[in-house]
Every structure is written in C-alpha cells, then in structure tokens.
C-alpha cells in the first residue's frame, strides 16, 4: 500500500488539507526498529489486518491476532531486534512462542515482497 499512498491521498484528501508523506525511504524493518523502544508503541501498536479476529476479540484479548501476515512480519521483526517482551500488551507472546518455528517457516517460504524483506532480516 505504501507504494501508492501519495496517489491515493491526493484523490481522497480535501484541497484545504496538506498531506505530508514521511518515511518512504525507510524499509518496514527500519520503521519497526525506529518505534520498537517507544513506550507508546509498546503499549498500543496495532498492525493487525485480520478482520475476523478484530470483530470477535474481547477487551482482554491482545489488539493483534499474531497470525495474519502483517502480525507475523511485525512480531518476528520485534523478536529479532530484541524488543518482543516489551510488546506483551500488543501480542499473545505465549501463542507466538509456541508457534514460532512454524511462523518463521511460513515467512521463509513466502514469495511476497514484504515477507521476503522480513525473511532477509532473519539471515543477518
């Protein structure tokens, strides 16, 4: 989506509002690293794109499902960077840890560009 943000925002933004697009030069890994130490992000990071999970979760559930592609990329990146425990309010870390190997294998097998970026991080 970030590849077309500027085009879409021009079409959807009222003329009176100026939109500035920042961070286009940074990878998702770099963006995750930039916010990983921030207490606000650690308490409220919401990356989940799983509509079924979002519609069914209750107030005690983490905001992120931990299994959609975006959650998997994010949680694996946070784990690799050493910030995972700080995001216990945002993800079910016990579930992640018990399924970690399968989630990493799924990421490594993917041919999706965003997944490939996260998989490349694991090689470093």
pTM, rounded to two decimals: 0.84
50 and 71 in contact (C-beta within 8 Å)? yes
For 3-19, write each residue's pLDDT tens digit.
Answer: 666 677 777 778 888 87
For 13-55, write each residue's pLDDT tens digit.
Answer: 788 888 777 777 888 899 999 999 999 999 999 999 999 999 9
The pLDDT of residue 5 is 66
């Amino acid at each position: 989506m970030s590849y077309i943000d500027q085009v879409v925002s021009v079409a959807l933004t009222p003329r009176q509002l100026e939109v500035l697009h920042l961070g286009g030069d940074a990878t998702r890994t770099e963006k995750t690293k930039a916010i990983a130490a921030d207490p606000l992000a650690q308490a409220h990071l919401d990356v989940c794109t799983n509509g079924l999970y979002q519609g069914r979760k209750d107030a005690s559930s983490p905001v992120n499902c931990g299994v959609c592609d975006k959650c998997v990329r994010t949680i694996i990146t946070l784990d690799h960077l050493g910030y995972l425990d700080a995001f216990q309010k945002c993800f079910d870390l016990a579930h992640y840890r018990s399924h970690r190997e399968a989630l990493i294998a799924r990421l490594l097998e993917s041919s999706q560009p965003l997944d490939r970026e996260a998989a490349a991080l694991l090689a470093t």
